[in-house]
Chains A and B, each alone.
Chain A
Amino acid sequence: MEYHDIVIIGGGPAGLAAAVSAYDAGCRDVLILERDDRLGGILNQCIHNGFGLHTFKEELTGPEYAERYIEQVKERGIPYKLRSIVADISPEREVLYINSEEGAVTVKAGAVVLAMGCRERPRGALGLPGYRPAGIFTAGTAQRLMNIEGYLVGREVVILGSGDIGLIMARRMTLEGAKVKVVAELMPYSGGLKRNIVQCLDDYGIPLKLSHTVTKIHGKERVTGITISAVDENRRPIPGTEEFYSCDTLLLSCGLLPENELSKSAGVELDRVTGGPEVNDRLETSVPGVFACGNVLHVHDLVDYVSEEASRAGARAAEYASRGEDDGHAYTKLTGRGGVRYTVPQRIDTSKMDERVTVRFRVADVYRGRSIALYYDGKVIKKQKKRVMAPGEMEQIVLTKDSFEGLGVDEITIAVED
């Protein structure tokens, strides 16, 4: 069986950054497996700008951001296989991939980096009533059809869900001459970034109806209209609030789900809140030598943070591949409470951690003028005041190694407080 020090599953932003940093950490045997016919992942269809301000200190479009990392991969001569889909990963890190040139091939990896990204929540998972006419797309599918394949997917559009891709597509379709009639959001707040509400909806006068959902899809062959209704505090439609919008297209932007079928086959334990692997401060999963980064780990708002996280995973995978498992780790559990829904990582080796570890998390509701509090064994260590926190925007707090000096902490907690 062919062996590689590191096999990276996915050639999107996470996989590319992990490969570059693994190489720079000294690993000369890295293989990237990508199922699409080019590297770059979802960035190839994200033609809007706003990427790279943290990483490159300039504002790039998705394809430009991808190309920078693809160049870095090529400069280093890191091999990659396109149109190669991974079908299985074993707990022993045997990776089975399939493509039309080689057929089914199993390779053994010294370390594996999971970088498969996420998928959109489809109509079937939303419980929307009505027939199944043509004209219902997830926002990302519509984005691919428009921006890569060149089809205008509809002329009169209703969008359910105010995730970033839905907001971006509202603007994109408007610019291409479609009429976006309304964006309905089930929750009382938007799931997208504030800037996208301003520059994708407000700029074009597209109404955003919070606490609304689709209660009927009209049309049998093709969508002919959508009925939306207001919902109560339990997210149940309120009778009598129905509004009909005539349209030919419904876009769904109702959340992203980390894609972890392969992680499960490798025996990786998943976090029930993120839907991604539970990891330690080295971004290693519950299976030794299997690391995770990017949207497969937890859904990010900014690709810049994906790259930064993936760089750490790549370097740690390189370290593992060169020296194998070192079992002298003792982990402290890290949990969120009081409005902090989850944390990544979920456990930290406080004696062997990096000098600084960034913990990322999301909050459960919109909070104004509240603080993020960090506790070690119930004792407050620091508090950070935040003007606004929202579920659609990832938060972070930095833990330093010296803050644990001589403490023997059993539990680290992060909470939203006054």
Chain B
Amino acid sequence: MEKRELICIQCPMGCPLTVTVHDDGKVTVEGNTCPRGAAYGEKEVTHPTRTVTSTVVLEGGEIARVSVKTASDIPKEKIFDVMAEISRTKRRAPVTLGDIIIKDVAGTGVDVIATKSVPAK
């Protein structure tokens, strides 16, 4: 049996979690105040994931960068692969919030989407 003390990062409440990995592989979570916390606690000790947010170079737009995010969370160990692909990407304005900027980023099966609308200059 292994106990881990974690802080839930699902929302800014930051609930302190105690996650127990039992000898039979079962995982129990205590300290959470919502179901998202229980899911986070279990995932964090089995296969941790994160949402990546960044910006992409925007040509001909009102501003020089458009903000983007992975449409859902990706495996934590893929963060820098995802960032490398985002850094190589350029886009021409206009962009509308929700536009797909990169399909299936770094082989994660997750798209990178725009989080801001930027009109052309």
Asked if B51 is an interface residue, CB under 8 A from chain A, the answer is yes
User: Smallest CB–CB gap between A302 and chain B, Å?
Assistant: 5
Asked if A351 is an interface residue, CB under 8 A from chain B, the answer is no
The closest CB in chain B to the CB of A387 belongs to B16
Knowing A49-B53, A61-B115, the reply to whether A302 touches B65 (Cβ < 8 A) is no
In the bound complex, CA of A49 to CA of B68 (Å): 10
Render A138-168 as a binary contact track against B, CB cut-off 8 A, 1 for contact: 0000000011111000000000000000000
Determine the interface band of chain B, counting residues with CB < 8 A from chain A.
20 to 34
In the bound complex, CA of A89 to CA of B9 (Å): 42
Residues of B with C-beta under 8 A to A172: 54
Asked if A175 is an interface residue, CB under 8 A from chain B, the answer is yes
Contact in complex: A63, B116 (CB < 8 Å): yes
**CB-contact partner of B64 in A48, A64, A150, A393, under 8 A:** A150
Render B46-82 as a binary contact track against A, CB cut-off 8 A, 1 for contact: 0000111111010000111101110000001001100
Contact in complex: B55, A302 (CB < 8 Å): no
Contact in complex: A198, B67 (CB < 8 Å): no
Residues of A with C-beta under 8 A to B29: none
The closest CB in chain B to the CB of A168 belongs to B53
Contact in complex: B8, A147 (CB < 8 Å): no
In the bound complex, CA of A50 to CA of B14 (Å): 11
Residues of A with C-beta under 8 A to B63: 148-149
User: Smallest CB–CB gap between B102 and chain A, Å?
Assistant: 15
Residues of B with C-beta under 8 A to A148: 63-65
Contact in complex: B53, A150 (CB < 8 Å): no
Contact in complex: A149, B53 (CB < 8 Å): no
Asked if B117 is an interface residue, CB under 8 A from chain A, the answer is yes
Contact in complex: B115, A64 (CB < 8 Å): yes
User: Smallest CB–CB gap between A225 and chain B, Å?
Assistant: 27
Asked if B97 is an interface residue, CB under 8 A from chain A, the answer is yes
Asked if B1 is an interface residue, CB under 8 A from chain A, the answer is no
Contact in complex: B51, A146 (CB < 8 Å): no
In the bound complex, CA of A194 to CA of B116 (Å): 27
Residues of B with C-beta under 8 A to A176: 54, 83, 87
Asked if A388 is an interface residue, CB under 8 A from chain B, the answer is yes
Render A209-243 as a binary contact track against B, CB cut-off 8 A, 1 for contact: 00000000000000000000000000000000000
User: Smallest CB–CB gap between B50 and chain A, Å?
Assistant: 7
The closest CB in chain B to the CB of A45 belongs to B67
Contact in complex: A48, B53 (CB < 8 Å): yes
Knowing A61-B69, A388-B16, the reply to whether A195 touches B55 (Cβ < 8 A) is no
Asked if A59 is an interface residue, CB under 8 A from chain B, the answer is yes
**CB-contact partner of B67 in A47, A197, A301, under 8 A:** A47
Residues of A with C-beta under 8 A to B79: 175
**CB-contact partner of A195 in B12, B51, B57, B117, under 8 A:** B12
Contact in complex: A193, B12 (CB < 8 Å): yes
Residues of A with C-beta under 8 A to B7: 194-195, 197-198
Knowing A175-B52, A199-B50, the reply to whether A47 touches B115 (Cβ < 8 A) is yes
Contact in complex: B65, A147 (CB < 8 Å): yes
Residues of A with C-beta under 8 A to B57: 150
Contact in complex: A61, B53 (CB < 8 Å): yes
Asked if A44 is an interface residue, CB under 8 A from chain B, the answer is yes
The closest CB in chain B to the CB of A67 belongs to B97
Residues of B with C-beta under 8 A to A388: 16
**CB-contact partner of B116 in A44, A48, A195, under 8 A:** A44
Residues of B with C-beta under 8 A to A199: 9, 50
Interface centre among A50, A195, A301 (most CB of B within 10 A): A195
In the bound complex, CA of A67 to CA of B52 (Å): 20
Report A46-97 residues with CB < 8 Å from chain B CB.
47-50, 53, 59-61, 63-64, 67
Asked if A101 is an interface residue, CB under 8 A from chain B, the answer is no
**CB-contact partner of B55 in A49, A64, A67, A150, under 8 A:** A150
Contact in complex: A149, B52 (CB < 8 Å): no
Name 12 extra pairs, CB < 8 A, besides A37-B62, A47-B55, A150-B57.
A47-B54, A49-B69, A61-B69, A146-B55, A150-B55, A175-B54, A177-B87, A194-B16, A195-B11, A195-B14, A198-B7, A387-B16
Chain B residues near A (Cβ < 8 Å)? 6-14, 16, 31, 50-55, 57, 62-65, 67-69, 76, 79-80, 83, 87, 97, 115-117
Chain A residues near B (Cβ < 8 Å)? 37-38, 44, 47-50, 53, 59-61, 63-64, 67, 146-150, 172, 175-177, 193-195, 197-199, 203, 301-302, 387-388, 393
Q: Which 6 A-B pairs have the closest CB atoms?
A: A194-B14, A47-B67, A150-B64, A63-B116, A195-B9, A61-B115
